[in-house]
Structure 1
Amino acid sequence: MRKPKADLANERIPKLILQLGLPATVAMLVNALYNLVDTIFLGRWVGSEAIAALTVAMPLQNLMTGIGLLTGVGAASMISRSLGENRVDRADLIAGNAFLSVGILGTALAVIGLLFMDPILRLFGASTSILPYAREYMRYIFIGWIYVPMVMSANNIVRSEGDAKTSMKAMLIGTGLNLVLDPIMIYLLDMGIRGAAIATIFSQFCAFLYLLNYFLRGKSMVKISLEYMKLKWYIMWEMYAIGMSSFARQLAASGVGIIMNQALVVYGGDIALAAFGIMFRVHMFIFMPLFGVVQAMQPILGFNYGARNFKRVKESILYSTIIVSAAATLGTMLILFFPQILAGIFTKEATLIQEGSRALRVASIFIPIVGIQIISSVVFQALGKAGPALFLALFRQIILTIPMVLILPRFFGLTGVWMVYPCSDIIAVAVSAYMLLREIKVLEKELSPVVV
């Protein structure tokens, strides 16, 4: 019988979170570091226009990420529960369907992006001065688009069987290679923003080859072969239903990004757009460790839920929440105490430093409690409860953020745009906490001794 790489059924929960979360967190931090360094290189060697172009491209990249999460998160939840139920053949079939579907969706969206690039970029806030930079960047991203969701889906599947180290290695290959190639292609070869795009896609291609080799050489517990790459609609339906909350969150982020970019251009121009890019990169670096912890929590939750061990499910939620909240608090303190230093890392332009630091101060106030919302959404995904997970994904982005972007700037100008984040955070966290506590009570009622 094939068994998970980590002892998801018996090992102490704190040790499991450390065992699975540390590799994921390291990989996430390296990935966030790449995004920081990429923006720093472009900001200092190309200019604020390049940072603004990356900001315009952000909604498209969110969509790219969403495709990977749609299949990867759904497949990971189903695979973890299937392994907990000792249904290994079903886990293989789920993985095969995930790879086939992400390939079809990724290719289709890449073709659409290349055919309608300029209208899409204008819709996403590209001004006349920013459009050439955004076009040059996204042209190469679209060409190699398919490898990004492929890597994301494969990484989720690897983590679902408790193998966090292989997932970490794949991410380190992609991000590490990117860190090396960026200065070479942007600066030494004088390729500018085009060099950044080529470095990104080539690095993801190498990460994909590593994961493909891992599966084809039989190192994984889940088997990948043409035998299992036959679309089964009952699997696709459940996989998409579970992954839909993550996809909806990314799709909503793209929609919010469009409206946010438009508001930034209206109330602050291209400098505000670049300031938002700086704020987003710093926030990403703070949030990545949190995502590393919840990635560790997901297979523990899914496996033990499948094994009907609800006590360990509750412990996983408790310990993950404590760790995530502590990490978020430390990150927020760093932002609030040193905003100008952080903004100054990306650019030498005084105006951009001033606006970037102001954005960081205003938008980061409630980050310490945001982890509760992240935990809540992943809990429902891991338990296979697609409805609540989808609601939490859409509540902050659609119901709260979009109306606030349309209303607050009318009263507070550009500051109102930055205020959207703390205002939506506090309400979303309150609703998420209520739903999470209610779910824990449901689990407590179902708690029964594990028969050995």
Structure 2
Amino acid sequence: MAEKDVGLSENRSIPLFVFFKDVRSVFKLDELGLEIAKIALPAALALTADPIASLVDTAFIGQIGPVELAAVGVSIALFNQVSRIAIFPLVSVTTSFVAEEDAISKVSHDLKDCESLENGSTLDSENKVLIPQNDLDEKSESATNLFDIAKAEPRKKRIASASSALIIGGILGLTQAAFLILAAKPLLSFMGVKSDSQMSHPAQQYLKLRSLGAPAVLLSLAMQGVFRGFKDTKTPLYATVAGDLANIVLDPIFMFVFKLGVRGAAIAHVISQYLISIILFWRLKEEVDLIPPNRKYLQFGRFLKNGFLLLMRVIAVTFCVTLAASTAARLGSTQMAAFQVCLQVWLTTSLLADGLAVAGQAILASAFARKDYSWATSTASRVLQLGLVLGLALAIILGFGLHFGARIFTKDADVIHLIGVGIPFVAATQPINALAFVFDGVNFGASDFAYAAYSMVTVAVLSIITLLILSSSNGFVGIWIALTIYMSLRAFAGFWRIGTGTGPWGFLRS
């Protein structure tokens, strides 16, 4: 045992070793492996459900024509990037804060139970009812009362961050809807869709209608953040699948039966988002007391401080991807249509790694709240190793599969040719993307929001310069080379923080 402790101490003195810790156990279904799988698998499925629904939209719209496909591609890119500015800080902060509050609450509850037992009370382990020792002799006389207590509904959780997230999410959703509807034309113009372009009219139609669903999107994702903090990713999965199945069913009905075209696709998507939001709210109110006792209880200051840091970060991320889409749009409708298909596949498959990021964030936030650094180290190592394996598997699958699947999205020969040009980049970057996403979750779990913000701003500046240079000289290919460099820098930033044992990871050097 002593030798094992010495070895662990030596490994910890070099933070870089954390990436190789227990590497042979990467697929082991021990306590940690099972907890990661329980959180990551449903989270990954839920995260990919909405992009898959967007891919279905893309496939249906592609049957109308390449102009409509390109127009909707720009609108989806714009809507998603504006949404991320609000969603990402809200969901990430909510997940960490809820996980911390829930962990502390459980520790406090366990301590109270121990104190009660030490003071001469007996715990009915099945019904979780404390029965004072001096009342046990009278148990037969009060059997009815005890039965009523045991059968009473469990007390709802009091989690301040849950109430705060819903209020902030609702306000942000309404603000986003108004902003996108009123500024649709200039925003699309910024994206390269000028008023005299064939894409202008269908792009505005889709964007304005889809923006009506922004409040539902923000609220549903805020609630998903709460459930993730509870390490419950199954409930968001069920809600998301229900909503996206409704979207897939309604798409052809509104688009082709009612002959609404791109408007039909937007309406179907909005209906699905409100369905998801209603399901999640119904489940959440059964578990959490959402009515705050007072304004101080909501802790808006804590949310705003850390949310602002992540807002800086997400603006940097958003600008990079939006600029790439805008650059593709300026090349023409054919290039934009191909870029839209490649980007949707690129993001959808990469988001599978976000399931691991969610698991890492939730488990690490709880571990840091308990100051259980050994468990934090093991969790970080395992999710990063799994992320690399997942990325390599996705690279192989996409490298072969996307060549044969391009015709699902369009029949235009020129668009299919350009998709073929983008496939090597989409496939080869999967391991890099996976690690970048998982590193994000790991650092968020450590509440390292300041580093996440400042490092991403630096990465964005370098990536934007690269994108402008390469796109002007190499066109479509240059955009994808720049995106590859961008994701590589993101992954390196996460690697640097943990590998050097700085910030909240300073314990790795002790």
TM above 0.5, yes or no, is yes
AA of the residue aligned to 2:415: L
Of the candidates 43, 46, 64, which is equivalent to residue 24 of structure 1? Answer: 43
Secondary structure of 2:371's partner?
coil
Secondary structure of 2:306's partner?
helix
Would the aligned equivalents of 1:69 and 1:149 in 2 still touch at CA under 8 Å?
no
Would the aligned equivalents of 1:78 and 1:91 in 2 still touch at CA under 8 Å?
no
Counterpart residue number, 2:497:
435
CA distance in 2, matches of 1:51, 1:439: 47
Counterpart residue number, 1:197:
266
C-alpha displacement at 1:436, in angstroms? 2.1
> Is structure 2 residue 476 aligned with structure 1 residue 406?
no
Moved over 6 A (4+): 87-90
Counterpart residue number, 2:184:
117
Of the candidates 56, 68, 91, which is equivalent to residue 50 of structure 1? Answer: 68
Which stretches in structure 1 are left out of the alignment for 5+ residues? Answer: 1-10, 447-452
Q: CA RMSD in A?
A: 2.3
Secondary structure of 1:348's partner?
coil
Inter-CA distance 158–427: structure 2 relative to 1 (3 Å threshold): closer
CA distance in 2, matches of 1:240, 1:275: 39
C-alpha displacement at 1:35, in angstroms? 2.0
Of the candidates 432, 435, 439, which is equivalent to residue 372 of structure 1? Answer: 435
CA distance in 2, matches of 1:275, 1:376: 29
C-alpha displacement at 1:245, in angstroms? 5.5
Counterpart residue number, 1:252:
316
CA distance in 2, matches of 1:72, 1:65: 10
Of the candidates 131, 152, 162, which is equivalent to residue 221 of structure 2? Answer: 152
AA of the residue aligned to 1:436: I
CA distance in 2, matches of 1:102, 1:59: 19
AA of the residue aligned to 1:287: S
Of the candidates 259, 265, 286, which is equivalent to residue 329 of structure 2? Answer: 265
CA distance in 1, matches of 2:375, 2:189: 49
Would the aligned equivalents of 1:395 and 1:428 in 2 still touch at CA under 8 Å?
no
Which structure has the greater CA radius of gyration?
Answer: 2
Counterpart residue number, 2:290:
224
Would the aligned equivalents of 1:264 and 1:272 in 2 still touch at CA under 8 Å?
yes
Identity %: 20
Counterpart residue number, 1:68:
87
Inter-CA distance 240–91: structure 2 relative to 1 (3 Å threshold): farther
Counterpart residue number, 2:10:
none
C-alpha displacement at 1:212, in angstroms? 1.2
Counterpart residue number, 1:143:
212
Inter-CA distance 426–277: structure 2 relative to 1 (3 Å threshold): same
Q: For structure 1, which segment, 94-103 or 245-254, has the greater mean C-alpha deviation from structure 2 after superposition? A: 245-254
> Is structure 2 residue 418 aligned with structure 1 residue 355?
yes
Counterpart residue number, 2:173:
106
CA distance in 2, matches of 1:431, 1:65: 20
Q: TM-score under structure 1 normalisation? A: 0.88
CA distance in 1, matches of 2:175, 2:347: 28
C-alpha displacement at 1:252, in angstroms? 2.9
CA distance in 2, matches of 1:414, 1:65: 25
C-alpha displacement at 1:251, in angstroms? 2.6
CA distance in 2, matches of 1:302, 1:257: 29
Q: For structure 1, which segment, 257-266 or 141-150, has the greater mean C-alpha deviation from structure 2 after superposition? A: 257-266
Inter-CA distance 172–40: structure 2 relative to 1 (3 Å threshold): same
Secondary structure of 2:49's partner?
helix
How many pairs are equivalent?
428
Inter-CA distance 265–117: structure 2 relative to 1 (3 Å threshold): closer
Inter-CA distance 400–335: structure 2 relative to 1 (3 Å threshold): farther
Q: For structure 1, which segment, 305-314 or 175-184, has the greater mean C-alpha deviation from structure 2 after superposition? A: 175-184
Inter-CA distance 185–129: structure 2 relative to 1 (3 Å threshold): same
Which stretches in structure 2 are left out of the alignment for 5+ residues? Answer: 1-29, 110-155
Q: TM-score under structure 2 normalisation? A: 0.78
